[in-house]
A = this chain, B = another copy of it.
Amino acid sequence: MNSQEKRLFNFSAGPAVMPVPVLERIRDEILCLPGCGASVMEISHRSKQFIDIQHAARDRLIRLLKIPSTHEVLFLQGGARLQFSMIPMNLLRSRSEPAQYIVTGAWGKYALGEAKKEGPVELLYDGASHRYSQLPRWDELQVPDNASYLHYTSNETIQGIQFQADPVAKCPVVCDCSSDFLYRPLDVSKYGLIYACAQKNAGPAGVTVVIIRRDLLERSSDSLPGYLNYKHHADEDSMWNTPPTFAVYVLGLVMEWLETTVGGLEVMHRINQQKASIVYEAMDRHPQMYRGHARPIDRSLMNATFTLPNEKLESEFLAGAQRRSLDSLKGHRSVGGIRASIYNAMPIEGAAALAQWMDEFASTNPIA
């Protein structure tokens, strides 16, 4: 590290912690990409060097998720927010086949709002009545077989709830995996479209991964605004326009870290389970101090959300955490309290240091 400063344990919900070896590699290559005589930011996206980088990132992603050849991988811009519009613009069919939306938190609600502007959409499930603290079971939901698609959010970052089981539906399933992409293996064949902005588990803000079943590309109309047409990006190998080259390069380095340093998504999943257990067990040891937002069986392995009995205690908890190098733990303004995001790149030591501080804080602040 050139800088002598100490890195903190970063619990930010996104943009979020990245693997240190990835940052070191960027540092070493930023002035001169090996064999290139220029920074990766300076070379043409049409150069052999960059095409190799983008293909390698894609191929590692295909190996990590065992993406079947029925599906296409796209690297896009505009974040999940642009996908909220692109999905209905590309995939909606006739009025008799409305898309079905499962809303289990803030992001699902935004997705629904954008979809409604584009065509026939129905709200199949809404968790508003219990403040998005729990999830439906797949067998409780009646998804019409002829729906244009079913949309859901696998992990709600703000509320901290996460589907553990794969979806069950006959229509194409569209999943916003932005905040739990690559946290475990996934059976991609069960999905019509998976999308994820990179800035939680996959890389820096500015690139969004879309994995789309190839037959769905036929739904994209030529009259769509060019950038918003999935078919353009698929036909041109994500080079329909200049891709966010640096972000794709970093995403590739994160994929390399997952594949070769971590050892794949099964190992990553076990580590994520372990980290989440460390934090949730600390929470459950002090039920009078820490009250979880999520129903226990729906707890997210990525974002642990909880409140303390009052705002004064929450402020003291956060201030003490900061003194222990535990950073960015403040909850989202809409839910309040504490949110500990423990994405792939958060080391176990970070989760352990947080749990230790939770224990210490609870014992030194007895609740009457």
Give me the interface of A with B, judged by CB distance under 8 Å.
Answer: 1-3, 5-8, 10, 12-18, 20, 23-24, 26-32, 34-39, 41-45, 47, 77-82, 84-85, 89, 110, 113-114, 117-118, 197, 199, 204-207, 223-228, 240-247, 250, 325, 327-328
Contacts and interface: CB of A to CB of B under 8 A. Distances in A.
Question: Which 4 pairs from chain A and chain B are nearest by CB?
Answer: A206-B244, A85-B225, A8-B37, A77-B77
Contact of A32 (B5, B110, B226): B5
A201 B115 CA distance: 36
A252 to B, nearest CB: 14
A80 B242 CA distance: 9
Contacts of A12: 38, 42-44, 47
Nearest to A333: B46
Contact of A205 (B7, B79, B85, B245): B245
> For the complex, would chain A's binding face be called helix, strand, loop or mixed by DSSP majority?
loop
A79 B241 contact: yes
Nearest to A38: B10
Contacts of A223: 117
B242 A14 contact: yes
A44 B7 contact: no
Contacts of A38: 7-8, 10, 12, 17, 327
